[in-house]
Amino acid sequence: MKTPRGKIPPLSIIAIIFCMLSFMVLLYTERLSFLSSSSIFNLRSRDAGYKIPKTDIKRLVSKPIDYAADDRFEFDPQECNIVHGKWMYNTSIKPLYSDRTCPYLDRHVSCVKNGRNDSDYRHWQWQPDDCMLPRFNPKIALKKLQGKRVMFVGDSLQRGQWQSFICLVESIIPKRHKSMRRGRVHSVFRAKEYNATIEFYWAPFLIESNSDEHIIGDPKQRILRVDSIAKHAQHWEGVDILVFNTYIWWMSGLKIKSLWGSFANGEEGFEELDASVSYRIGLKTWANWVDSTIDPNTTRVFFTTMSPTHQRSEDWGNKDGIKCFNETKPIRNRWHWGSGSDKRIMNVVDSVVEKMKVPVTFINITQLSEYRIDAHTSIYTELQGELLTDEQKADPLHNADCIHWCLPGVPDTWNQILYAHL
């Protein structure tokens, strides 16, 4: 879209306002997750020192993969384009867990616990056009992870994917054989019998910023060190399977305060760059780190593409709607693409990754998630660490979260794609 200099078209203003609103939601969410993580930490730390008897290990190691049940072999990632397809409603599809059975879910994504009582959104299955996406089999997934470290790195959406992955596998692990240690930045779920960990590392921009650990609410105060990544990346070394994302935090406004070089001028030496320009430099920094550090023979690298937001019901033709509030069905309109997914960013990701030496596998979730206006946490979530009150629920325009997803829900499908590639 071409715009004359100095003039901002009204649509952009609306977009900016929605971005700001999104950010308030995001901010609150981050804050409260830190609150809930400490309680999980206390609960789980007791069994941290448990050792598995030797015989158990033998039994497990010798257990063969049940190939009959492994329909991943029918899945050829070269042949199958999972991006194009449709959501199929099927009541015989039941999620592998619920927010009551899985103890590792943050309250802010536990929609059913938080009062959501329509259940249709849990019975949709992603059906690619030309192939079958294999069903997620927890046993096979854990076998694949045997002796390995998996780490999800990124923002709160990535944290959702991490929790989804844990919940998909954890039910088949006996209580004393698993543990969870939650930290502000780095959290580790351990499946002891499998000598495997499923970890999360908080780095919402991947690169460093002044708003990583202690989040700065006002996007204008945030300064990104677009060429610095070592502080975070040192914690990614030695991991076998890395799953990255970064998107929504770059969408806080049109310009981003960006620093690079020697910082001779201190924090004041920043330049204000267009979000997509800043994003490109930041992602290149990440790509350089991957290319110079990762041995592709031992480490797999995945990248989850942008998770769409659904802040504008006009995008899907619901003129009287309030964001994603009260939506109970996916969008049917094929190729639907809303204003919450920035095509420029997708192009940046594509062009940066294309030039990398180390192969990066995309978990391209954007199109399939675009259809799922029904699956966000909406009003069944928390605000500043507290469940929404009835009064707040009655004001979805200000309080509905149309960025994050209910669990179980759409991120389970993202992990189904990851699983198919393992």
Ligand X SMILES: *[C@@H]1O[C@H](CO)[C@@H](O)[C@H](O)[C@H]1NC(C)=O
Report, in Å, the least distance between residue 285 CB and ligand X: 18
Pairing of strands 376-378, 401-405: antiparallel
Nearer to ligand X, 115 or 253 (CB): 115
377 belongs to the binding site for ligand X (CB under 6 A)? no
Give me the 262-301 binding string for ligand X, x by CB under 6 A, dash otherwise.
---------------------------------x-x----
Question: Which of 364, 371, 367, 369 lies closest to 333 in space, CA to CA?
Answer: 371
Q: Which is nearer to ligand X, 53 or 147 (CB)?
A: 147
CB 156 within 8 A of CB 30: yes
- Residue 131 as a binder of ligand X (CB under 6 A): the answer is no
Closest approach of Cβ 172 to ligand X, in Å? Answer: 19
Tell me which residues in 108-127 interact with ligand X (CB under 6 A): 117
Using rule CB under 6 A, residue 349 touches ligand X: yes
Of 32 and 388, the one with the shorter C-beta distance to ligand X is 388
Side chain identity at residue 274, one-letter code: D
x/- binding map, residues 307-326, to ligand X, per CB under 6 A? -------------------x
Asked if 237 is part of the footprint of ligand X (rule: CB under 6 A), the reply reads no
- List CB contacts of 401: < 8 A, sequence separation 6 or more: 25, 29, 376, 377, 378, 379, 381
Taking the complex as a whole, how short is the minimal distance between the CB of residue 356 and ligand X, in angstroms?
Answer: 12
Closest CB to ligand X among 90 and 221? 90
**What's the min distance (Å) between Cβ of 110 and ligand X?**
16
Single out the segment in contact with ligand X by CB under 6 A; choices: 27-35, 85-93, 102-110, 154-162.
85-93
Gyration radius of the chain over CA positions? 21
Closer Cβ to ligand X, 45 or 90, answer by number: 90
C-alpha count within 13 angstroms, C-beta hemisphere, residue 116: 32
- 399 is written with which tokens? 């309080």
The residue among 199, 216, 189 whose CA lies nearest residue 154 is: 199
Of the residues 346, 356, 358, 422, which one makes contact with ligand X according to CB under 6 A: 346
Angle CA 53–54–55, to nearest 5: 95
Are 91 and 51 in contact by the 8 Å Cβ rule? The answer is no
Which residues is 386 bridged to in the sheet? 383
Residue whose CB is less far from ligand X, 20 or 88? 88
Stretch that binds ligand X, among 41-49, 88-96, 213-221, 227-235 (CB under 6 A): 88-96
Indicate the residue among 120 and 213 with the shorter CB distance to ligand X: 120
Q: Give the count of beta carbons closer than 10 Å to the beta carbon of residue 262.
A: 7
Could you give the residue numbers annotated as active site?
156, 401, 404
Nearer residue to ligand X within complex by CB, 137 or 367: 367
Q: Among 161, 179, 364, 416, which residue interacts with ligand X (rule: CB under 6 A)?
A: 364
CB under 6 A: which stretch of 69-77, 106-114, 162-170, 362-370 binds ligand X?
Answer: 362-370
Min dist CB 379 to ligand X, Å, is 9
Asked if 375 and 307 touch (Cβ cutoff 8 Å), the reply is no
Shortest reach from residue 123's CB to ligand X, in Å: 9
Give the Cα separation of 256 and 222 in Å (integer): 8
- H helices present in 49-155, as ranges: 54-62, 138-145
Nearest of 142, 140, 150 to residue 240 by alpha carbon:
150
Of residues 147-206, which lie at the interface with ligand X (CB under 6 A)?
147, 149, 195
3-state helix, strand, coil in the chain (%, to 5): 40, 15, 45
Q: In what order do the strands lie in the sheet with 255-259?
A: 208-209, 223-225, 255-259, 271-274
Total number of residues that touch ligand X (CB under 6 A):
20
Distance CA 340, CA 336 (A): 11
Beta bridge partners, 181, equal 188
**Residue 362 interacts with ligand X (CB under 6 A): yes or no:** yes
Q: Is 366 in the site for ligand X (CB under 6 A)?
A: yes
DSSP string, 344-360: HHHHHHHHHHHT-SS-E
Among 367, 369, 378, 381, binds ligand X (CB under 6 A): 367
- CA 409/CA 294 separation, integer angstroms: 32
Return the residue of 334, 350, 351, 384 that touches ligand X, per CB under 6 A. 350
Phi, psi of 260 (to 5 degrees): -155, 175
Instruction: Give the one residue of 12, 39, 42, 90 binding ligand X; rule: CB under 6 A.
Output: 90
Q: What does the binding site for ligand X look like in residue numbers (CB under 6 A)?
A: 83, 88, 90, 92-93, 117, 147, 149, 195, 295, 297, 305, 326, 346, 349-350, 362, 364, 366-367
